[in-house]
Amino acid sequence: MPESYDLLIIGGGVSGFSAAMYAGRLKMKMLVIAAVRGGTIITTNDIANWPGIKQTDGTTLAKNIEEHALEYGSVKALDDKVVEAEKAGEGFRLKTEGGKEFEGRTLLFATGTEWRKLKVEGEEKYSGNGVHYCALCDGYAYKDKVVGVVGGSDSAAKEAVLLTQWAKKVYIIYRREEIHPEPVNMTRVKNKIEEDKIEVISNANVTEIKGGERSMTHAVLDREYNGSKELELDGLFVEIGHIPNSELAKGIGVETDEKGYIIINRASETNVEGAYAAGDVSNTGFKQAITGASEGVHAAYSAYEYLKGKEVRPA
C-alpha cells in the first residue's frame, strides 16, 4: 500500500512551502515532493518586494519558508520528481522518478514554470557553454566579457542589470521597439546605458547561435547592427518567458487556459474536486512571490475545509 496523506504538494517553491506551513498549522498530514527545493525564486539574488522583508535573496527567502513549514510535526518533504499522477478513488495517486508511490486525499500543484527556449540552431549545442537561462546562476563566469540578454520583460531587464556586475558589456536583444520592465528597473537600465554598460538592440531576433568546439562566439540576428548581422558574444542569456509545468495536472482533467496555466478561483480551487494550484503555474494575472504564497495559503485552507466537509458526509 502506498503511503497516504491528507495533502500532497508537488513543488517545493515559495507557494508550495507557504501552503505546507499553513497545512501544518491546520495539522494536516502532508508531504511536499520537490524536484528542486526553493523553486524559481532561488535564481534571484535581489528581492526587495516581499512585504515585511526590505531586502533579501531568493535562496534565503525560500529556505526560511521551507524551514518554517517543516517546524510543524505533520509536514514532511521529499526530494524527488513526480512522473505520474492519477485519480484514485476520491483522492489521487502519485509516482515518482525514485520509484515511490503516494496517495493523497487532496493534491496541490505548485509546480511552477520552466524557461522558454529560443528554439534556434546552436541553442542546445552551446547550452551551458555560452547559452544560459539564469544570470544569477551562471553570470559570474562572464567577468569582463561581453554578453547578450534576449528579452524585453522586467525579468530580462533585471538579468541585464545583474550581469553588468560581471560583464563589461551587456546587449539587450529584443524583438520589439521598446523593452518594458517595471519603472524602477527601467531606471536602472537607463543608468547602465548612460554608463555604457548596457546597449539595447531593438526590433531584432536571434536566429542562430554560432561558435567553436567548446563555446559560442556569435549570435546571428535577423537585422544588421553596427554593420553586421553577427554579434560577437561570449555568452547569451535567454529571458523570453516561461512554460507552465501543468502536464501532470492536465492528465487528471484539470483545466488550463490557452497558454497552459492552471485555472484557479480565489480559493485556489481547480475544476477537479480536491485538486488545487498555486503560484507560477496558475493563471494569475500579476505573478509575484507574495501572490503565489497567498495562493498556497488559500489552497491549504481550501483542502482543509474540503476534508472537513467529507468527514461529516454520510458514508
Chain residues binding a copy of itself by CB under 8 A are: 14, 17-18, 21-22, 25-27, 48-54, 56, 61, 64-65, 67-68, 71, 182-184, 265-267, 284-286, 288, 290-291, 293-298, 301-302
CA angle in degrees (0–180, nearest 5) for 223-229-235: 110
Q: Which is nearer to a copy of itself, 22 or 171 (CB)?
A: 22
Lookup: cell for 85? 499522477
Q: Which is nearer to a copy of itself, 74 or 207 (CB)?
A: 74
- For a copy of itself, the closer CB: 30 or 209: 30
Continuous segment of H or E residues that includes residue 159 = helix 154-163
Find out whether 201 and 171 touch, Cβ atoms under 8 Å. Answer: yes
User: Measured from the CB of residue 310, what is the shortest distance to a copy of itself in angstroms?
Assistant: 16
What is the per-residue burial (b if ≥16 Cβ within 10 Å, else e) of 7-44? bbbbbbbbbbbbbbbbbbbbebbbbbbbbebbbbbbbb
2, 101 Cβ separation under 8 angstroms: yes
* Helix, strand, coil tally for the chain in percent (to 5): 30, 30, 40
Contact 219, 133 (CB under 8 A): no
**Could you tell me the smallest distance in angstroms from the CB atom of residue 92 to a copy of itself?**
22
Closer to a copy of itself by Cβ: residue 211 or 292: 292
- Give the residue with the Cβ less far from a copy of itself, 27 or 143: 27
> CA 188, CA 156: separation in Å to the nearest integer?
12
CA trace torsion 15, 23, 251, 290 (10° rounding): -20
**Smallest separation (angstroms) from a copy of itself to the CB of 302:** 8
In the complex, the smallest distance separating the C-beta of residue 295 from a copy of itself, rounded to whole angstroms, is 8
* Shortest distance (Å) from residue 27 CB to a copy of itself: 4
Smallest distance from a copy of itself to CB 234, Å: 32
Q: How far is the CB of 70 from a copy of itself (least distance, A)?
A: 11
Complex with a copy of itself: residue 122 or 181, whichever CB lies closer = 181
Tell the smallest beta-carbon distance from residue 238 to a copy of itself (Å). 25
Question: Tell me, what DSSP letter sits at residue 277?
Answer: E
- Rounded CA separation 220/255 (Å): 39
Which residue number, 5 or 126, has a Cβ lying nearer to a copy of itself? 5
Q: Which is nearer to a copy of itself, 134 or 186 (CB)?
A: 186
- State how far the Cα of 209 lies from the Cα of 147, in Å rounded to an integer: 13
